[in-house]
Structure 1
Amino acid sequence: MDKNETPQDSGPFRMPDPALVSRTMADVAERGQRIVADFLKRQAQDGAHAAVPGADPMQIGHAFMEMSARLMANPARLVQAQLGFWQDYLTLWQNTARRIWGGDTAEPVIAEDSKDRRFKHEAWRENEVFDFIRQSYLLSARYITNVAQAADDLDPRTAQKIDFYTRQFVDALSPSNFLMTNPEVLRKTAETGGENLLRGLQNLLTDLERGKGRLRIRMTDEKQFRIGETIAVTPGKVVFQNALIQLIQYTPTTEKVLKRPLLIIPPWINKFYILDLRPRNSFIRWAVEQGHTVFVISWVNPDETLAAKSFEDYMLEGPYAALDAIAQATGEKAVNAIGYCLGGTLLGCTLAHMAAKRDNRIRSATFFTTMLDFAEAGELSVFIDEEQLQSLESRMQKRGYLEGREMATTFNMLRANDLIWSFVVQNYLMGQEPFPFDLLFWNDDSTRMPAAMHSFYLRRMYQQNDLVKPGGITLAGVPLDLSKIKVPAYFLSTREDHIAPWKSTYRGTQLLSGPVRFVLAASGHIAGVTNPPSSGKYSHWVGDSLPSSPGEWFEAATELAGSWWPDWQRWVAAQDKAQVPARQPGSGALPALEDAPGSYVKVMATD
């Protein structure tokens, strides 16, 4: 392709008209203000209907007004940022003009992050016009972000909120998200005669129908996945159930098994089969193959009838009920336990409760990407202030639960480019059908949250961080004190975790009194955990000491290739190496109720 031609070979390009660019930017700013105003107006209307005070429950407008006031108090910094921006912009104009007139390609004024996949198509660099668009956007994005971060003396939560929503705005304006400024989309449109846009429109209408009027973006080909048939297929039986859980016992594949059963407590905010997607990446299947008698809690997908279920109920009818059932099914009281994310937080609460009651049935505890100390809870804290909690509680009181899609949208916003905008481009502009991907199917299979339990969790954990305070939380009449937990503990965190930042999860190692091992896996909250040894992906870091600073731990840690799973298996097996003949589900005092994965997990949040 000639460098002066568009990706669709439609003729030479001219340099963009500076006046037009200026008018466009002004129009973007004006429209952006109008969009924000309309958004705040809708929030005010929703707040009035919900009897929630204030026109801006997310406090976005207030945060940006405070930022503006701080910036105006120090105009020199703003002027300096503007001068730097225009100097770089002028250099970009000069470099682009030289290329158009046949000169050599200069070094880019600015380059995207190596992990940024929005500009991977070669035309973003090979064609001078799209190279100009790309670099112009990156310069503008950096300028806007720097200005947002330049305000002095802001409250940390306000600063975090400004930074988060500034990035949401910047990501939304990426030229890769629009037809006329995305060379890959333009090429596709030329090649297909616009059929990609027609298919994209159909995809858009389908997604609106899926969301019953709200946009619910398809991330994967859902028709390729059926729970219990193509995913969550590890053989087993449901051996116990109550209003909140089904307890699944998996069929052994070894003649002998470890004497101690293994109880897995997944987060109730997602479905348990993240640990049993397909046979090749199923942690549950792998644990069975290592000789564990695996029990997994499958949480109910609650509706309005469970609105009053509390965090205390989740402890008593969850881990406690499971321990009682495991004793009946196997005759064993001592177990090893794993808690994943919120399930790990619940495991920590249960262990503190058991320590006070001198209940020693859980003999070792493993925490997957678990926060016990919420002092630095990452970007989820953006959504946890008093105004937003009041608004959320008002909505939950109406229905008795939090809609699963609301929480899913929150998590997707934490990685908007990967989990929102990339699908907008592929589904609606490129007109492509989503690729079948088991992890994204699970990600879209959201669950509801009972009002009482979810409100308690957000307020007492995230907002007030009461769990780290001895006696700060009382469950079932027992004040909790994490320092009383003396069982051996294994903490697994992931380096790129955007939900439970690893430096925050590391704080948990300092709260318990027993022996602790901390392991850091590469990748993120999900991929770093569901990383089987056979994949050959991702490394992990181990260390023998546990200094108070996570940075110090990392400096002294040793990086090892491959999955952390074998390291955990060596650790947990060393806790008690005794073996017994393999136990078949339903052969003990608890009869089998139904085949795994059970019926609770098949209830969709949209049902």
Structure 2
Amino acid sequence: MEPTAGVRPQQAVESYPADRAFHAALARLSGGISPVALLLAYTDWLSHLATSPQRQLEISQEVVRDGKRLFEAAQHFFSPQHGPWSLIRPSAWDRRFARPEWEIPPFNLLAQSFLQAEQWWHNATTGTRGVAKQNEAIVEFSVRQMLDVLAPSNFAATNPEVLQKAFQSGGENFVRGWQNWCSDWVRLLSGHPQPAGGDFVVGETVATSPGKVVFSNELIELIQYYPTTDKVHPQPILIVPAWIMKYYILDLSPQNSLVKYLTGQGFTVFMISWRNPGAKDRDVAFDDYRTLGVEAALATIEDIIPDRQVHALGYCLGGTLLSIAAAAMARDGDNRLKSITLLAAQVDFTEAGELTLFINESQVAFLEDVMWQRGVLDTTQMAGAFQLLRSNDLIWSRLTRDYLMGERSPPSDLMAWNADATRLPYRMHSEYLRKLFLNNDLAAGRYLVEGRPISLSDIHTPMFVVGTVLDHVAPWKSAYKIHFLVDADVTFLLTSGGHNAGIVAPPGEEGHSYRLRTKAADATYIGPDEWLNSVQPIEGSWWPEWTKWLAARSGEPSAPPQIGIKLADGQALPDAPGDYVRQ
């Protein structure tokens, strides 16, 4: 029998162990990036550029024009009439040259010549007719990473901040930087590359909201938090966090804890805490996270609080999983969800930001071979991919501060949480990348749950969807697509900040703002740009806006429910934060 068209033979997936072992070894040298994917992208760009003589002439003329401008600026650079950023100004998000020291000659000229070269390379690697969009993005991104290495801010002799620090401290900053470097290398060689959380300890200073683990299986612990008000809303909240990182991003220090805020607003809160998988969990499937996670949690809540609908919240990948679970429940006539809240979550992956640079057939196959050997995607590979998306802030600025300035950033609860990384099972991550990123099965109505397809359009439950302006992981315009994928009232909120800092936005903390608008299920769709122009920003945290929305869809407060249920086998479960979060 001939194999079905478009389906790879099983032998091609499971065989060739020598090839897969070679790819896994190669990944240690390439940082998990597929060399073949890079080669294909550069071949596409260079081939089309080589057959575009007018485009070649254009970028060549731009080199001459930029060189002439730089030469003329250098001749008059010390003139009082010469502005500090006469050639090119850094973008608002580029903080490498933000301090006033960079406006002093000759450092200003160094910064401008670098920014000018950066702009030229951006123009040279984009805009060539015929180059595949993803290949163009890969080339532009990789060239930008190489240029970032050469930024004048990365070298002591060309960084005025470092020179000023050295002059003021008599060179002591270099001594401290050397000590920091040695300390980091010792930690790396010992197998603990991330700095310790300092004073932030799980269960002591973070993840401290009082509660009880009320259910446990091989994949989750379900935490029920103790009420902090005399009466609570009858509908509980179930939080489904991402299993890429630990759950306590939503229960950091008490002043930054969304859990503490919710219990203080009179809500009964349940939280899923995922177990950190090891090599023996290599065959845990993506759907296991739905059945052993969301479904098991909902069943437990139903046992504790019978006949009550649930407000469900999903964050990041947890939001994608919650959307899948909600669509399956809607298909099967299950109405246990009172509302659905998605925080920085995507259900359509066609425009999933710069993270898609790492997602193509070559790269996914390469990652599968790495995970096939280890059984999991290691924490260092995942952390490295996220750091590359913001290399200026997360890599080079940190190296400059730690090793040239001789300083360390003061510890914070968010930094401690970020260093507390997790692993991903081989099968689950492979299914996630292929079904959702590569094939976009969920948005296209091809995603199967229990052998039958689900459709997001079956969801009629009111939704509250939060996007963040600076999100590199789940861009807000990608999250906005929920408007035309579900058949429900959608309240969309766009908040300031990024993927994490935009979500952790407690009331009273300065610098937060948001925009808000509700679209009824039968209302006319408007695009994200039109939406942005039609909604005025509001200063402050988005948390009160969301709890007000929840309260309007909840019953009158009454006495708090019981904490957990008595286990038939007499099994004793731990207090919050539980055991899984410490793994």
**Above 0.5 in TM-score?**
yes
What residue identity is the alignment partner of 2:57?
A: V
CA distance in 2, matches of 1:62, 1:544: 44
Change (3 A) 1:478 1:209: farther
Give the drift of 1:367: 0.7
The residue that corresponds to 2:441 in the other structure is: 466
Q: Deviations over 1:301-347 (max 9, x none)?
A: 10012111101111000010001111222334421100001101000
CA displacement 1:142-185 (0-9 Å, x = unmatched):
11111011321111111121122122122222110112211111
Q: Quote how far apart the aligned CAs of 1:439 are.
A: 1.3
Offset of residue 202 of structure 1: 2.6
The answer as to whether partners of 1:261 and 1:332 remain within 8 angstroms in 2 is no
Q: Which residue of 1 aligns with 2:478?
A: 504
Could you tell me which amino acid in structure 1 is paired with residue 385 of structure 2?
T
Name the aligned partner's letter for residue 122 of structure 1.
Answer: P
Give the secondary structure class of the aligned counterpart of 2:106: helix
By how many angstroms is 1:247 displaced?
0.6
2:24 touches 2:370 (CA, 8 Å); kept in 1?
Answer: no
Give yes or no for contact 1:547–1:553 (8 Å, CA) kept in 2.
no
Cα RMSD of the aligned pairs, angstroms, is 2.5
* Equivalent-residue separation in structure 2 for 1:183 and 1:50 (angstroms): 39
Task: Answer yes or no: is 1:162 the counterpart of 2:139.
Answer: yes
Mapping for residues 2-41 of structure 1, pairs under 5 Å: none
Partner of 1:77: 55
Partner of 1:328: 303
Q: Which residue of 428, 437, 447 maps to 1:453?
A: 428
Partner of residue 582, structure 1: 560
Paired letter, 1:273: Y
Q: Secondary structure at the match of 1:595?
A: coil
**For structure 1, which segment, 586-595 or 372-381, has the greater mean C-alpha deviation from structure 2 after superposition?**
586-595
Q: 1:215 to 1:108 in 2, by over 3 A?
A: farther
Match of 2:181 in 1: 204
1:532 — aligned with what? 506
Provide closer, same or farther for how the CA distance between residues 579 and 44 of structure 1 changes in structure 2, counting only shifts above 3 A: closer
- Are 1:406 and 2:381 matched, yes or no? yes
How much has 1:478 moved relative to structure 2?
A: 3.5
1:359-374 to structure 2, matched below 5 A, reads: 359-374=334-349
**Which amino acid is the alignment partner of residue 547 of structure 1?**
Y
Residue 200 of structure 1 deviates from its aligned partner by 1.8
The AA in structure 2 aligned to 1:182 is: N
Give the residue type in structure 2 aligned to 1:598.
Answer: G
User: Which residue is 2:536 aligned to?
Assistant: 558
**Secondary structure at 1:226's aligned position in 2?**
coil
**Structure 1 SS opposite 2:558:** strand
Q: Does 1:543 align with 2:523?
A: no
* 1:142 and 2:122 correspond: no
Amino acid at match of 1:456: E
> How many angstroms does 1:276 deviate by?
1.0
Letter in 2 for 1:267: A
Is the 1:238–1:593 Cα contact (8 Å) retained in structure 2?
yes
Aligned position for 1:89:
67
Distance (Å, rounded) in 1 between the aligned partners of 2:319 and 2:480: 13
Equivalent residue, structure 2, for 1:239: 214
1:595 and 2:571 aligned: no
Match of 2:110 in 1: 133
1:237/1:592 contact within 8 Å kept: no
Instruction: Give, in angstroms, the shift of residue 528 of structure 1.
Output: 1.3
- Whole-Å separation in 2 of the counterparts to 1:526 and 1:403: 21
Matches within 5 A, 1:385-396: 385-396=360-371
Q: Which amino acid aligns with 2:219?
A: L
SS for the counterpart of 1:257 is coil
Distance change in 2, residues 1:63/1:600 (3 Å): same
Offset of residue 529 of structure 1: 1.1
Are the aligned partners of 2:21 and 2:373 in contact in 1 as well (CA < 8 Å)? Answer: no
Q: Rate the CA distance shift 1:89–1:520 in 2: closer, same or farther, 3 A.
A: same
Q: CA separation of 1:156/1:314 partners in 2, compared to 1, >3 Å: closer, same or farther?
A: same
Counterparts of 1:45 and 1:241 in 2: how far apart (Å)?
36
Would you say the 8 A contact 2:21–2:369 is kept in 1? no
Hey, what does 2:272 align to over in structure 1?
Answer: 297
SS in 2 for 1:59: helix
Aligned: 1:495 with 2:472: no
2:536 is aligned with 1:568? no
1:519 aligns with 2:502: no
150-159 or 345-354, larger mean C-alpha shift: 150-159
C-alpha contact 2:23 2:370 (8 A) present in aligned 1: no
Alpha-carbon distance in 2 for matches of 1:401, 1:99: 55
Partner SS state of residue 112, structure 2: helix
Query: Contact between 1:329 and 1:589, CA under 8 Å: does it hold in 2?
Result: no
From the superposition, tell whether residues 174 and 51 of structure 1 become closer, same or farther in structure 2 (CA, over 3 Å): closer
Aligned match of 1:190: 167
Shift of 1:567: 1.6
Q: Deviations over 1:175-209 (max 9, x none)?
A: 10112211111222333343322322232232233
Q: Is the 8 A contact 1:244 1:299 kept in 2?
A: yes
Q: Does 1:153 align with 2:130?
A: yes
How is 1:423-462 mapped onto 2 (pairs within 5 angstroms)?
423-462=398-437
Q: State how far apart, in whole Å, the 1-side matches of 2:114 and 2:477 are.
A: 32
- TM-superposed CA distance for 1:217, in Å, is 6.0
TM normalised by structure 1 equals: 0.86
| Superposed displacement of residue 556, structure 1 | 2.2
Change (3 A) 1:418 1:332: farther
Displacement after TM superposition at 1:103 (Å): 4.9
Q: Tell me the secondary structure at the aligned position of residue 123 of structure 2.
A: helix
Quote how far apart the aligned CAs of 1:587 are. Answer: 6.5
C-alpha separation between the residues in 2 aligned to 1:56 and 1:504?
Answer: 26
Opposite residue 275 of structure 1, the aligned amino acid is L
CA 1:64–1:314 in structure 2 vs 1: closer, same or farther (change >3 Å)? same
* TM-score normalised over the length of structure 2: 0.90
1:51 is displaced (CA, Å) by 11
Deviation at 1:488, TM superposition (A): 1.2
Distance 1:379 1:213 in 2: 32
Percent of pairs with identical residues: 39
Checking the alignment, whether the CA contact within 8 Å between 1:196 and 1:429 is kept in structure 2 is: yes
Residues 1:61 and 2:36 are matched in the alignment: no
Preserved CA contact (<8 Å) 2:24 2:366: no
- SS for the counterpart of 2:229 is coil
- 1:270 Cα shift? 1.0
Give ranges in structure 1 of 5+ residues lacking alignment.
1-42
1:447-466 per-position Cα deviation (integer Å, ceiling 9, x unaligned) = 10011111000110001000
Secondary structure at the aligned position of 1:164 is classed as: helix
Q: Which amino acid aligns with 2:382?
A: M
Q: CA deviation at 1:393?
A: 0.7
Do the aligned partners of 1:340 and 1:370 also contact (CA within 8 Å) in 2? Answer: yes
CA distance in 1, matches of 2:22, 2:508: 50
Distance 1:58 1:192 in 2: 48
Q: 1:51 to 1:336 in 2, by over 3 A?
A: closer
In 2: Cα distance, 1:418 partner to 1:58 partner: 28
Aligned equivalents of 1:153, 1:526: Cα separation in 2: 37
Asked if 1 retains the 8 angstrom alpha-carbon contact of 2:494 and 2:514, the reply is yes
Q: Is the 8 A contact 1:328 1:589 kept in 2?
A: no
Offset at residue 544 of structure 1 (A): 3.4
- 1:31 corresponds to which residue? none
1:269, CA displacement in angstroms? 0.6
